[in-house]
Amino acid sequence: MSDGKNYWLMKSEPDEYGWDDLIAEDEGIWDGVKNAQASNNMKAMALGDQIFFYHSRQGLEIVGIMEVSATAIPDPFDETGRWIAVKVKPVRKLDNAVTLKAMKQNPKLSDLAIIKQTRLSVAPVTHDQWAEILSMSASSQA
């Protein structure tokens, strides 16, 4: 309906499935999400929506951008039929990964869902937050 894209952030432990794994596959399926809130966020995704790929547990940083290539498909590993998955394709790696630490220090990102609710693995990102994080990734911030 709306012509504007929506923005999201999804977490994965790089040990389990990291950015390099997505690159290797070229298209990845984002399954195994068994949390009502995260699942609802995935259901709200539209084709072409942009997603930050965040490495949790290890790295603790946004490493790249991907986009939705298939929406709300049944999770192939879920026997209950309750949960859905989406497919994603890599768009590009960020010039500089944006760390959780840096995001926490940025007052413009104080409302970021992953800061307020640590354990939410699929979270919406506002347009302003998206633009702010992109600008952080463009400036060298070691």
Partner DNA sequence: GCCAACGTTGGC
Judged by CB under 7 A, which of 23, 36, 46, 47 binds DNA? Answer: 36
State the amino acid at position 29 in one-letter form. Answer: I
Q: Establish if 118 lies at the interface with DNA (CB under 7 A).
A: yes
Query: How far apart, in Å, are the Cα atoms of 83 and each of 40, 63, 75, 86?
Result: 9, 26, 6, 11
Judged by CB under 7 A, which of 43, 74, 77, 101 binds DNA? Answer: 101
Q: How far is the CB of 137 from DNA (least distance, A)?
A: 17
Distance CA 125, CA 65 (A): 13
Measuring CA to CA, which residue among 114, 119, 95 is closest to residue 104? Answer: 114
Q: Establish if 37 lies at the interface with DNA (CB under 7 A).
A: yes
Q: Establish if 104 lies at the interface with DNA (CB under 7 A).
A: yes
Task: Pick the closer one to DNA by CB: 97 or 114.
Answer: 114
Q: How far is the CB of 97 from DNA (least distance, A)?
A: 13
Distance CA 36, CA 15 (A): 24
Cα atoms in the Cβ-side hemisphere of radius 13 Å centred on 30: 32
Task: Pick the closer one to DNA by CB: 37 or 71.
Answer: 37
Where does this chain bind DNA (CB under 7 A)?
A: 11, 13, 34-37, 56-57, 60, 100-101, 104, 114, 117-121
